[in-house]
Amino acid sequence: MNVLVTGADGFIGSHLVEELVKRGENVRAFVYYNSFNTWGWIDTLPQEIKVKLDIFSGDIRDPNGVRKAMEGIDIVYHLAALITIPFSYHSPDSYVDTNIKGTLNVLQAAKDYNLKRIIITSTSEVYGTARYVPIDENHPYQGQSPYSATKIGADRLAESFYRSFNMPITIVRPFNTYGPRQSARAVIPSIIIQLLSGKTDIEMGALTPTRDFNFVKDTVNGFIAIAESDKTIGEEVNIATQKEISMGDLALILINKINPEAKIVTNDKRLRPENSEVNRLLGSNKKIKELTTWSPQYTLEQGLDETIAFLKENLSKFKTDIYNI
């Protein structure tokens, strides 16, 4: 298959590209054009992976570039998005342009080129604070941040193209993914980086919210399993472990692994507005297990150990002295 991955330069995208190449697919990697000619995390991939990639530098917001990138493609995994919630509070226009318009560009080109599969990436943030658990795919949507609102909009656009044009679209909804290459704005690398840099006062936001964490390799295998199953066409499918942990308990695990002398302190800058904070995310994985052969392979402990090892080796790539949003 000829496969396009948008957002290939990012955290999950780079892992997906790497796995697809290992499986023998012909992969075109859509990366964000910049004057530094950097390909994001793809720059760090083994040379034997990089030489097999067809790199396309562009901007997901530009319909002409997206259309050019999708020429000759059979399957698109659309991951390109703006994802950080704090940044969406003061720059919501960029989220509308990237997350909604970017998805529309992919859908329009996929329609014209008659692609065999279109995989649209959603997020568990579209559910907001759980009204019931485990959260299945029928849970109501709640736009508790501009970011989540734009992802809801993108999902509904994808649904409309499936219903209007009978396109082979699936909406994939990963719960919180973590692992090597994740940016320091996310909670797990944020805590680890503070600990590895020698800080003993570990700054955090709210400690009581819970999350359902997927190790990135499990998330990637979930994407591929969903794309390979015809049963998932027209569906919205969670990728979740169906286990939850609070931010405070997560921090304590990491502190005990790296520096038991450290302690947690609350930094008001890291707190979301009260009505924007998603207090509980615990996903149901019943549907993905019914429609595919996927199941999570990593425990939280195993995933955290791999993430710590990666950050130890790559600490110089991160700004350890600032709060990353």
pLDDT tens-digit map of 215-258 = 999 999 999 999 999 999 999 999 999 999 999 999 999 999 99
Structural domain range at position 264 = 187-211+243-283+299-317
Q: Does 192 lie in the same domain as 117?
A: no
- Tell me how far apart the alpha carbons of residues 258 and 197 are, in angstroms, rounded to a whole number: 11
Region 109-127: mean pLDDT is 98
The pair of structure tokens assigned to 270 is 């890291």
Q: Does 149 lie in the same domain as 199?
A: no
**Does 325 reside within a domain?**
no
Q: Does 230 lie in the same domain as 274?
A: no
- Tell me how far apart the alpha carbons of residues 265 and 175 are, in angstroms, rounded to a whole number: 26
Amino acid 319: pLDDT: 86
Answer for the pair 65, 57: CB distance below 8 angstroms, yes or no. no
Is 26 a residue whose pLDDT tops 80? yes
Q: How do beta strands 75-78 and 54-58 pair?
A: unpaired
Q: Give catalytic residues, as residue numbers.
A: 147
Q: Does 206 lie in the same domain as 166?
A: no
Amino acid 224: pLDDT: 98
Number of domains in the chain: 2
- Tell me how far apart the alpha carbons of residues 67 and 69 are, in angstroms, rounded to a whole number: 5
pLDDT tens-digit map of 73-101 = 999 999 999 999 999 999 999 999 999 99
Q: Does 122 lie in the same domain as 193?
A: no
Coil/strand/helix, residue 284:
coil
Nearest to 167 by CA among 237, 76, 44: 76
**How many residues are there in the chain?**
325
